[in-house]
Amino acid sequence: MAMDYGSYVRRRFLIGLSLFLALLAVFMASLSLGPYKIPLGDVVRVLFTGGSGNERLVVLDIRLPRIVAGILVGASMGVAGAVLQGYLRNPLATPFTMGVSNGAMFGASLAIILGAGYTLNSGQIFLSNPYAVVLFAFLGAISATLVILILARLRSLSPEAIVLAGVAMSSLFIALTALVQYFANELQLSAMVYWSFGNLARATWGENTIMAVSFTLVFAYFFLKRWDLNASTLGDEIARSVGVNIERERLIGTFLSAFITSVTVAFVGVIGFIGLIAPHSMRLIAGGDYRFLIPLSALAGALLLVSADTVARLIVSPMNLPVGVITSFLGAPTFIYLLVRMEGRR
């Protein structure tokens, strides 16, 4: 029997390894593909020796930061979704259902109407003060969750009530955004809409460094708390019986999930569905054990987002589609398929 369990655990490692290899393959393909094709051999050479000229520019300065951003954003959203679904015991929970995306949209819109503004440049819209927009988007994103958590702390809200409070905060921010948009002029309005399309190309090495640090710290925390998450899925009473301070861990976990998501949303905008599809597909393949679900959701999220972004770059090449459109477009039917599969298993 102990042997069986050992091989069961090893199988989970193999799933992780295959995901990692798949991510590596997509990473290399994504570096190589695009309007300016670079053979794989050359990509490897540029990666290791720096290369020169156009190759260096395209691989290291244009594609690499964007792909790294895809990995970080995808991994953050995968982990954040997995953790929230565990602590709130709700399969639909993601930071976006806690009002993070609508809060960010409101923050960004507010910054734009207050003068972080826009410049028209050869038909494209550029934000004239992107840092203000990023800061406001982050504050908007995290504020919804903070309000909910303060309420939860004061009134010891149940997981269900936390989810419902998230829905309420989302609606509030949608209304506030509509209000801001109502008073915006045409150019401001198009800057807001443009911002709302998630786009990984916004990330440079500076943003990637911040996302990498926040992701690594939060990931490490959740990985240490993996047994607490397992306990949470069985209900608060069992969690407490096995020694988990479940109220505290739920608040910390919810905050940290919202935090890493807010960081990524502030930098690259709203990219939907990764936080739902990554954890749920892994639950289906590898089971609900958070020891594996946390790293696997990170890998799956990264793989999904980098793949989607590669498709977004290629599909109407040389133009770029916003990756958020692709993830939602492919995400919605995939998610429905997963739901049907899971129901079949009950």
Partner 1 sequence: MIKVRNLHFSYGRGEVLRGVSFEADEGEFLAILGPNGAGKSTLLRCLAGILKCGGVRILDRPVTDYKPNELARLLAYVPQRISAGFMTVFDTVLLGRRAYMGLTPSKEDIAVVDSILKRLGIGDLALKRANEISGGELQKVSIARALAQEPKILLMDEPTNNLDLKSQLEVMRLAREFARDGGLSIVVMHDVNLAIRFAGRFIFMKDGKVMADGGLEVLSEELFETVYGVRVEIEEIRGIPVVLLL
φ and ψ of 318, to 5 deg: -90, 5
Question: Is residue 244 at the binding interface for partner 1, with CB under 8 A as the rule?
Answer: yes
**Applying CB under 8 A, which part among 23-31, 160-168, 221-229, 308-316 lies near partner 1?**
221-229
* Calpha distance 323→197 (Å, rounded): 8
Out of 41, 123, 182, 224, which residue is the one contacting partner 1 (CB under 8 A)?
224
C-alpha 71 chain-centroid distance: 9
Question: Is residue 233 at the binding interface for partner 1, with CB under 8 A as the rule?
Answer: yes
Question: Is residue 245 at the binding interface for partner 1, with CB under 8 A as the rule?
Answer: yes
Residues in the chain: 346
Answer whether 83's CB lies under 8 Å from 257's CB: yes
Residue corresponding to tokens 């911040």? 210
Residue 120, H or E segment: strand 119-121
Question: Is residue 237 at the binding interface for partner 1, with CB under 8 A as the rule?
Answer: yes
Q: Which string of x and - marks every residue 2-21 that binds partner 1 (by CB under 8 A)? A: x-xx--x-------------
**Applying CB under 8 A, which part among 18-26, 46-54, 184-192, 224-232 lies near partner 1?**
224-232
User: In whole angstroms, how far apart are CA 333 and each of 316, 321, 327, 337?
Assistant: 22, 19, 10, 6
Q: Which is nearer to partner 1, 162 or 305 (CB)?
A: 162
Residue corresponding to tokens 């504020």? 143
Name the DSSP letter for residue 88. Answer: T
Tell the smallest beta-carbon distance from residue 261 to partner 1 (Å): 23
Q: Which string of x and - marks every residue 252-291 that binds partner 1 (by CB under 8 A)? A: -------------------------------x---xxx--
Out of 217, 234, 315, 336, which residue is the one contacting partner 1 (CB under 8 A)?
234
> How many of the chain's residues bind partner 1 (CB under 8 A)?
29
Tell the smallest beta-carbon distance from residue 228 to partner 1 (Å): 8
* Calpha distance 61→37 (Å, rounded): 15
Cis peptide before 322 (omega within 30 of 0): no
Residue 129 structure tokens: 């003060």
Q: Which is nearer to partner 1, 71 or 286 (CB)?
A: 286
Q: Which is nearer to partner 1, 63 or 280 (CB)?
A: 280
Q: Which string of x and - marks every residue 89-118 that binds partner 1 (by CB under 8 A)? A: x-----------------------------
Q: Which is nearer to partner 1, 224 or 316 (CB)?
A: 224
Closest CA to 137 of 87, 222, 65, 202: 202
Contacts with 70 (C-beta within 8 Å, 6 or more apart), sequence order: 30, 200, 302, 305, 306, 309, 323
Q: Which is nearer to partner 1, 12 or 63 (CB)?
A: 12
Closest CA to 117 of 229, 192, 21, 18: 192
Question: Is residue 341 at the binding interface for partner 1, with CB under 8 A as the rule?
Answer: no
Question: Is residue 231 at the binding interface for partner 1, with CB under 8 A as the rule?
Answer: yes
**Of residues 72-91, those binding partner 1 (CB under 8 A):** 89
* Calpha distance 151→162 (Å, rounded): 9
Q: Which residues bind partner 1 (CB under 8 A)?
A: 1-2, 4-5, 8, 89, 224, 227-228, 230-231, 233-238, 240-245, 283, 287-289, 345-346
